[in-house]
Amino acid sequence: MDQSDLRVSSPRWPSLRLHIPMGLRRTVVPFLLSRLVIVLILAIVPLIQHIPASQWLRDDSIVIKLNGKAVAEGLRDVALGNDGAWYLGIAKNGYEHRPFSATQQANWAFFPLHPLLWRIMAKVTGEWLWSGILMVNLLTLAGWSMLWTLAEKLTQSMEQADDAVLFAAFWPTSYFMMLPQTEALFFSLVMITFLSAYYQRWWLAGLAGMFAGTARLNGAFLLPSVVLRWFHGERKPHDLLKLLPMAGGIGAFMFYLWTITGDPFAFKDIQIAWGREFTAPWTALLDYVHRPFRIATPWNPKLLNFLVTVTGIASIVTCWRRGWRGLATFTALTILAPLSTGTLMSMTRYVGIAPGVYLALSVWTSRHKRFGQLCLAVFVVSMTLLCISFAAGINLGGA
């Protein structure tokens, strides 16, 4: 190829690069880095488990070989267990059809959109495990790209947007965002809703909110959050009407549950079977304050969950003061709902789908760099420890 050919072809890459959204470009590296760490943990821990501890003391020639088979088996063991098993069961066989009873656990607690999309993906590919993993990882990348875009718009800072994505990528329970569970799907729908509200595309916000209501109970929290954005905008009544579909998602699921169980609130009432009952939301916080050295109980790293809850509450104040009141409202309701079950269990996992927390962390980091570095270090260590325990069959982060 002569020099003239090189001069003609060289501009093609920059022009192609410009067509890739900035949010996607800035998100790819933290996405790949954090996913690589998680994949290595999920693959290596089962390999170590296969070797008895006594053998490590006697044999200095033990070799652990990491290959494609080890990665596949490590992912399979965790992806199709715990909540993933419930979603897989719904995707394959649907919901249980019987009169409501809380005497035993039932799949009514799990919302239908994620298993429905998983079923569609599996029908296309003819395979379940990798279809689910591919779907959620694409959704995670899309969700974090939209988080970057929203953060950049609200803060007018690319650096703060980068920080927001970095905190999301290494959030202590972010390993759930790469497994076939509902976090990735729901977070993406939340980001579509808030971005649409930011640009005042109310019909799109209404549709995204409707689908979010079929993915998780938290989808119901989007309606009051987006209405606040409408209230501080042009306040056109016909725009408010475009948000009405947001109530239709959870409403449709409730109607379906009523037809198969006789109880439209079966998704809530069945929580008793998991030991969750309604109580005052401050009960769990006061319980930890009174016994601060009881840092962990079975399936509940109480210290981490307490600190994350306090961080979430502080983020509500920051977002509200900066005028991001929809984000603040969504975070508040996201924290209030699980706290009302009387336990801090899984709070880190629940708070991780609230984008306002990551924006607040990025704001704090812009003012106090060392604080941001400390938070990120704590997140990385916590994620590593929780992911190791999860790979070992101990679901501390999201029981």
Per-residue model confidence (pLDDT) at position 208: 97
* Tokens, residue 371: 């604080």
Per-residue model confidence (pLDDT) at position 195: 96
Look at the chain and report how many structural domains it folds into: 1
Give DSSP secondary structure letters for 57-108.
HH-TT------HHHHHHHHHHHHTSTHHHHHHHHHHH----S----SS--GG
Q: Is residue 208 part of a domain?
A: yes
Helix ranges (H only) for 178-324 are 183-198, 202-213, 222-231, 237-241, 246-261, 266-269, 283-290, 302-321
User: What is the reported pTM?
Assistant: 0.91
Q: Is residue 12 part of a domain?
A: no
Q: Is residue 14 part of a domain?
A: no
Per-residue model confidence (pLDDT) at position 10: 44
Torsion over CA of 310, 32, 20 and 153, rounded to 10 degrees?
10
With a cut of 50, list the residues of the chain below it in pLDDT.
Answer: 1-11, 13
Q: Is residue 316 part of a domain?
A: yes
Q: Over the stretch 79-136, which tens digit does the pLDDT of each residue have?
A: 887 788 899 999 999 999 999 998 889 999 999 999 999 999 999 999 998 999 999 9
Which 8-state DSSP code applies to residue 329? Answer: H
Per-residue model confidence (pLDDT) at position 1: 42
Contact 258, 264 (CB under 8 A): yes
Q: How far apart are CA 282 and CA 249, in angstroms?
A: 30
Q: Is residue 352 part of a domain?
A: yes
Per-residue model confidence (pLDDT) at position 57: 63
Q: Which domain holds residue 227?
A: 23-52+66-99+108-391
For residue 105, give every residue at least 6 positions away whose Cβ sits within 8 Å of its Cβ, in sequence order, or none: 270, 273, 274
Q: Is residue 4 part of a domain?
A: no
Q: Is residue 183 part of a domain?
A: yes
Q: How far apart are CA 111 and CA 114, in angstroms?
A: 7
Q: Is residue 61 part of a domain?
A: no
Q: Over the stretch 345-388, which tens digit does the pLDDT of each residue have?
A: 889 999 999 999 999 999 999 999 999 999 999 999 999 999 99
Per-residue model confidence (pLDDT) at position 294: 83
Q: Using a CB cutoff of 8 Å and minimum separation of 24, what contacts does 122-128 make?
A: 122/91, 128/80, 128/88, 128/91, 128/92
Q: At what angle do helices 222-231 and 246-261 cross, to 10 degrees?
A: 160
Per-residue model confidence (pLDDT) at position 75: 79
